[in-house]
Amino acid sequence: MEYEIKENILTAKDFVRLRVSAGWGELLEQQAQDALKNSLCTIAVMDQGQVIGMGRLVGDGVLICYVQDLVILPKYQGKGIGKSIMERLIAYTKEHGIPETNLTMGLFAAKGKEEFYQKFGFSIRPNENRGAGMELSIRI
């Protein structure tokens, strides 16, 4: 089946709906709107006009980018949609980065999904060169 892939068309409503489908909880509409507005790039995959998958890049776009919120609705998983999103996000960095420089792309994989990202060249941390990734949740 052919799916339509579009850049920078995600709505706050679709963003929240897909995050909830992944078990990541609700967001305020303002949080969703600001997150999308502050993204470098968002990718939406559509099936007959409905957003069924998404991914986005955050960061500075020249030194570092992070893949965030890569979500595919459960009934569409295993159909290559996540792969298509990752390919588009990686292509975005190559198209918009500074030629002849290196850009680091990072992410926090959902538990059990590490192998998916390794297929694109991501390495698991900690490793011999880098420590573990870390996070801090701040209540505002």
Task: Please indicate, yes or no, if residue 80 is contained in any of the structural domains.
Answer: yes
CATH of the domain at 49: 3.40.630.30
Reported as a single tens digit per residue, the pLDDT across 68-100 is 999 999 999 999 999 999 999 999 999 999 999
The closest alpha carbon to 54, from 111, 94, 14, 96, belongs to: 14
Predicted pLDDT at 138: 87
Domain of 54 in residue numbering reads as: 4-118
Reported as a single tens digit per residue, the pLDDT across 14-32 is 999 999 999 999 999 999 9
Task: Please indicate, yes or no, if residue 25 is contained in any of the structural domains.
Answer: yes
CA 8 to CA 64: how far, in whole Å? 19
Predicted pLDDT at 135: 86
pTM above 0.85, yes or no: yes
Question: For the chain, what is the domain count?
Answer: 1
Task: Please indicate, yes or no, if residue 13 is contained in any of the structural domains.
Answer: yes
